[in-house]
Structure 1
Amino acid sequence: MPIRRLIAATASLAAVAAALTGCGIIGGQPADLQIYSARHYDLEGAFGEFTDETGISVEFITGDDAELLERLKAEGEDSPADVFMTVDAGNLWNAARQDELAAVDSAALNEAVPEDLRDPQGRWFGLAMRARTVTYNPGNVDPAEFDAVDTYAGLADPKWKGRLCMRDATSSYTQSLVASLIDLHGREKALEIAKGWVANEVQIMSNDVLLLEAIDAGTCDVGINNHYYLARTLEEKPDFKVDLYWASQQGAGTHVNISGAGLVAGSDNAGDAQRLIEWLATKGQNAFVDANHEFPVNPAAKPEPVIAGFGEFKRMPLNAEAYGDLNAEAVDLLAEAGYK
């Protein structure tokens, strides 16, 4: 490697390593599999079950998706990582586009994971699904007020002025939702929708928990949340005054996103890594998703009771390439709309 590239890679790796938030080991030392994970929810439980069942030990390092992807790139062929796990389909698409993930030919994964929730070339597979939909205060809102055909666009209606709370423009949740609206409607219509939210004096919240608390308190009447934040809150506070409305059921369906994983290109443990991903999508589905109240991607796995109580819904087909490729355009669109 030329000295300039070596210095740059070393500096990049050092910076990224310093930013990572933690690591853990399942199954003792040394671990058989190294997992780089941007998904922080209850890793120990699912990975522990996998180790108990298979005897394959797991070590995981956590960080955000950008940090971990940069670490993979900096480490190159010397990376110890076997599996890259991240949130947001656009992040999975981006890792595959940068050749950090290897193709997996697996009949088990192709059967377990719906076609739009996995890479056509087998480089990544969705493992957990979250829905980003409308939440509201039932004391202040009649669900009949919502536009059942295009609920996200319907929140730009002036009748919601001063009543709307949403996440900030820097949130990947907001960006992926807007990218999906660009993909669905085109840029001009998506910009009109975002401008409508701004015109309705949308109150911006820094996280979904605060957003739900604002709805419960009557600070705003309606918001957009990942479903599992409401499920967590209801589990702790059954009298919480927030209900869920499945968006756009008479139209394109409710926006969904995924957490997923792929086999790291150059893994020295490709067989065991594939076995882990297959286990998470099949026998280990509920171990992986239930504690965080996420929906299983595998149609054969049943949702846990709290989210099952939300009822069935039609989901918007997921376009990972659009979420990734249109992310920068979504950021620009939000800025042009004056959305903070």
Structure 2
Amino acid sequence: MSHRFIKSLCFLSAMLSIAMIPQVVMALQSSEQKQEPVEIVVYSGRKESLIGPAIAKYMEATGNKVKVKYGSTSGMTALLLEEGDATPASVFIAQDAGALGALAKKDRLHKLPKKITGKVDSRFRSPKDEWVGISGRARAVVYNVNKTSPSEMPVSIRDFTDPKWKGRIGWAPGNGSFQAFVTGMRERDGDEATEAWLRGIMANEPVVYPKNTAIVRAVGAGEVDLGFVNHYYLYRFLNEDSDFPARNHFMPGGDPGSLVNVAGACIPNPDLDEARKAKALEFIEFLLAKDAQSYFANKTYEYPLIKGVDPSVEMIELEKIQTPDMDLSNLDDLQGTLVMLRKVDALP
């Protein structure tokens, strides 16, 4: 091979390398652009103390920024309906499924892919894949172990209208989770039966508390024998004091007293552009990944909803709770429940 030929090859190679520099630079720039952090706007009906750490995990894992607008679930739902397609929100996290159902019935939700909704049992997601649960909250009867026991409990929440329970019950009719439970009872038993149940409980002179935490504290102190609450409040007390004298009882047989509601997520704009939709789906999928689900299980004591993540060690398995079979999307008539609670004088 001649010296001149080798020099020609070297020259051609150099020219090709120079010619390719713009393409290489453009490819690198494109790659950098794809990796630039983006900002996701999330409306949250959940308190920052509950969902904030999970959002922080997402930001740390992806480098993306999340701008969160916090408020009540009912308030955020009303705002989303008012804003319509102009909403800046790419994701809405609701405290309960009823709000998600209300948005779905107004055709405000973007359908989620099966690869996301399929991670969760059909009981805890929209049958039309419009929203998906991210954590579960079971209704329970918390009781003082020195005052009563599961053997004394009736077989149904409906039977706490028996006069034997007079003055022994604590409840929080102004609390959102209780109101969702009443909405579930209306859906399952009908308005007439639910109103009769409320009147029966009122006749037993229940002690009124502002929220679940106060009920559990009162049960532990022996102020009341039992109370109607969400399951996880008890475990916060047990985490501080393993001898706290209260335990949860779950009503059997698909009873409305064992309703498992969910905190859920959706895309609250059916016409969301592709770029924002992709990040919204990534965010929701992260909330259903092991890291976030383990956080819900071990820090907020809620039920994880994906397979492979166990609940906190103190809790019974979700599958063992005989929750009523119903579409949680139908728990959307909060206004009707409030009217009923006022009608029976449970609310002012």
Cα distance change of structure 1 residues 80 and 232 upon mapping to structure 2, 3 Å threshold: same
Bigger share in helix: 2
Residue 235 of structure 1 contacts residue 306 of structure 1 at CA under 8 Å; is this kept in 2?
no
C-alpha distance in 1, partners of 2:297/2:104?
Answer: 23
Mean alpha-carbon deviation: is it higher for 195-204 or for 172-181? 172-181
Q: Secondary structure at the match of 1:276?
A: helix
C-alpha distance in 1, partners of 2:88/2:37?
Answer: 12
Q: Secondary structure at the match of 1:324?
A: coil
Q: Secondary structure at the match of 1:72?
A: helix
C-alpha distance in 2, partners of 1:224/1:145?
Answer: 16
Of residues 125, 137, 145, the one that matches 1:130 is 137
Number of equivalences? 307
Task: Give the C-alpha shift of residue 112 in structure 1.
Answer: 0.9
C-alpha distance in 2, partners of 1:318/1:231?
Answer: 27
TM-score (norm 2): 0.81
Residue matched to 1:328:
335
Mean alpha-carbon deviation: is it higher for 202-211 or for 245-254? 245-254
Residue 114 of structure 1 contacts residue 297 of structure 1 at CA under 8 Å; is this kept in 2?
yes
C-alpha distance in 1, partners of 2:257/2:165?
Answer: 21
Gaps of 5+ in 1: 1-28
Residue matched to 1:184:
188
Mean alpha-carbon deviation: is it higher for 83-92 or for 305-314? 305-314
Matched, 1:159 2:167: no
Q: Counterpart of 2:166 in structure 1: which amino acid?
A: K
C-alpha distance in 2, partners of 1:286/1:299?
Answer: 11
RMSD: 2.3
TM-score (norm 1): 0.83
C-alpha distance in 2, partners of 1:31/1:59?
Answer: 10
C-alpha distance in 1, partners of 2:245/2:232?
Answer: 16
Residue matched to 1:80:
88
Task: Give the % identical residues.
Answer: 27
Residue matched to 2:15:
none
Residue matched to 1:294:
302
C-alpha distance in 1, partners of 2:197/2:138?
Answer: 20
Residue matched to 2:325:
317
Gaps of 5+ in 2: 1-35
Q: Where do 1:232-243 residues align within 5 Å?
A: 232-243=236-247
Residue 290 of structure 1 contacts residue 303 of structure 1 at CA under 8 Å; is this kept in 2?
yes
Residue matched to 2:235:
231
Residue 101 of structure 2 contacts residue 330 of structure 2 at CA under 8 Å; is this kept in 1?
no
Task: Give the C-alpha shift of residue 300 in structure 1.
Answer: 3.2
Deviation per CA, 1:216-273: give whole Å up to 9, x if none.
Answer: 2221101111111111111012221111111234756711111011012143410111
C-alpha distance in 1, partners of 2:255/2:103?
Answer: 31
Residue 147 of structure 1 contacts residue 248 of structure 1 at CA under 8 Å; is this kept in 2?
no
Task: Give the greater-gyration-radius structure (CA).
Answer: 2
Of residues 241, 264, 284, the one that matches 1:277 is 284
Of residues 122, 136, 148, the one that matches 1:141 is 148
C-alpha distance in 2, partners of 1:65/1:272?
Answer: 22
